[in-house]
Amino acid sequence: MKKPVPIEYAELGTALQEVFLTREELLARVGELGRQISIDYAGKAPILVGALKGVMCFMADLVRSITIPLEVDFMAISSYSSEERDKGVVRVIKDLDLPITDRHVIFVEDVIDTGLTLNYLLRSLRARAPASLEVCALLNKSTRRLMDIPLRYKGFDLPDFFVVGYGLDYAERYRNLPFIGILKPGVLFSRGQPGN
Ligand code: IMP
Ligand code: MG
């Protein structure tokens, strides 16, 4: 059943067709992921690594649902041009602050779409010889996948449509929505250059 956009989002939500995942649905699933990570990584003090900015809300809720000691670090990457994207090239604007050699690393990602971004970043992290490297993604769009991504923790499978909110943007807007929404058809001009 279609979930309507709450009335208080009259200004921000005009381009939204409907709510895809409510705040409650997101928090419930993120809580489950956090409990599982707390069990799997007991005694390992993992480092959770995220790529800004799309992961901001997911990371904030995920770390607060994990009950074991952990550290958090972020990379910043730039949106790519369509040519760079086809080559799977990602520009790293800010690298990690923490060394990850011999550490248990969990890469936390908002959406995996083609997998090109994550594939590039995972290669770069693997080269630093972490003790282990796993991926935790909130949303998995497998229909457009080009690279094989090892996905240890997954929030939700997502059909091939563009979603915003809970950190995810369209042209830098909508990151502050507490839910994930679907844009109305026709709002999206180009699939080539989503923000990060
Ligand atoms: P990939 O390299 O094709 O896997 O692209 C993944 C990145 O594109 C994500 O980390 C997001 O920043 C962005 N992205 C992909 N799909 C969406 C979406 O539906 N909404 C917002 N951003 C998206
Ligand atoms: Mg991202």
Q: Is 112 in the pocket of ligand 1 (CB under 6 A)?
A: yes
112 closest CA partner among 94, 90, 138: 138
CB atoms within 10 A of CB 136: 25
Q: Give tens-digit pLDDT for 24-43.
A: 999 999 999 999 999 999 99
Using pLDDT thresholds of 50, 70 and 90, give the confidence band for residue 192. Answer: very low
Checking if the pLDDT of 66 tops 70, the result is yes
Q: Is 79 in the pocket of ligand 1 (CB under 6 A)?
A: no
Q: Give tens-digit pLDDT for 104-147.
A: 999 999 999 999 999 999 999 999 999 999 999 999 999 989 99
Residue 77's DSSP bridge partners are 92
Q: Respond yes or no: is residue 113 known to be catalytic.
A: yes
Give the active site residue among 97, 102, 110, 113: 113
Ligand nearest the Cα atom of residue 139:
1
Say if residues 177 and 168 touch (Cβ distance below 8 Å).
Answer: no
Residue 182 pLDDT: 95
Ligand 1 centroid – CA 194 distance (Å): 6
- Give the rounded percent of residues in the chain with a pLDDT score beyond 70: 92
Residue 182's DSSP bridge partners are 18, 163
Q: Give tens-digit pLDDT for 155-171.
A: 999 998 899 999 999 99
Residue 7 pLDDT: 94
Q: How far separated are the first and last CA of the chain, in Å rounded?
A: 30
Ligand nearest the Cα atom of residue 145:
1
Q: Is 162 in the pocket of ligand 1 (CB under 6 A)?
A: yes
